[in-house]
Amino acid sequence: MHYIIVSDIYGKTPALHDFCKTLNTQFTLVEPYSGQEQAIESEELNYKNFIKACGHNVYTAMLHKQFDRLTEPTICIAFSAGASAAWRAQLLTSNPHLKKVVGFYPSQIRNYLDLDASVPCEFIFPYDEVHFDVTAVINELNKKQNVICKPTDYCHGFMNKRSLNYNEQAYQYFCNYLTSNDF
């Protein structure tokens, strides 16, 4: 199985590289900065850099192009802004090689609840978000065919070793989950 890994607003980082190595398989990395590593300064500053570099619409278009080019069965694993872009892009492609989207803490998805899933989509949510009611978003998404939402007891960013919200136990659990191929 091939994987597309879609970064959060921080793009290509050593922590993301470590995550990709745990998959121990072939992958394509999609990130907003054309391969240039970005300093992790503060969420606010990095978000401004993300918006300046590409923003949500361009990120979705980048991912849509990647989905359209797939030539082998592929699972997309995406984080935060990348997970929201994957939600939007999966509906734009008709490529049968995209088999599943797994998105961690897709906070912008709250703005796209009117979309549907053309492939199986699984979203792993933090227990809380500052800008919206996680339970209400999960309830809306769970009404959709091909969508599974999993709430967690962790904070947004729990899979990112550089995040203040990183949680080693959650990281190990979900790395094992993703590499088990049973999802």
pTM for this predicted structure? 0.96
User: Where does residue 110 rank: exposed (0-12), middle (13-18), buried (19+ CB within 10 A)?
Assistant: middle
Q: Which position has the token pair 């009117």?
A: 114
Phi, psi at 162, each rounded to 5° = -95, -5
**Closest to 55 in 3D by CA, of 38, 71, 32:** 32
Distance linking the first and last C-alpha atoms of the chain: 13
How far apart CA 8 and CA 15 sit, in angstroms, is: 12
Residue 43 confidence (pLDDT): 84
pLDDT score, position 166: 95
What span, in angstroms and rounded, lies between the C-alpha atoms of 87 and 101? 8
Q: pLDDT tens digits for the chain (183 residues)? A: 899 999 999 999 999 999 999 988 889 999 999 999 888 778 889 999 999 999 999 999 999 999 999 999 999 999 999 999 999 999 999 999 999 999 999 999 999 999 999 999 999 999 999 999 999 999 999 999 999 999 999 999 999 988 889 999 999 999 999 998 665
pLDDT of residue 17: 92
**Pairwise CA distance, residues 115 & 160, whole Å:** 27
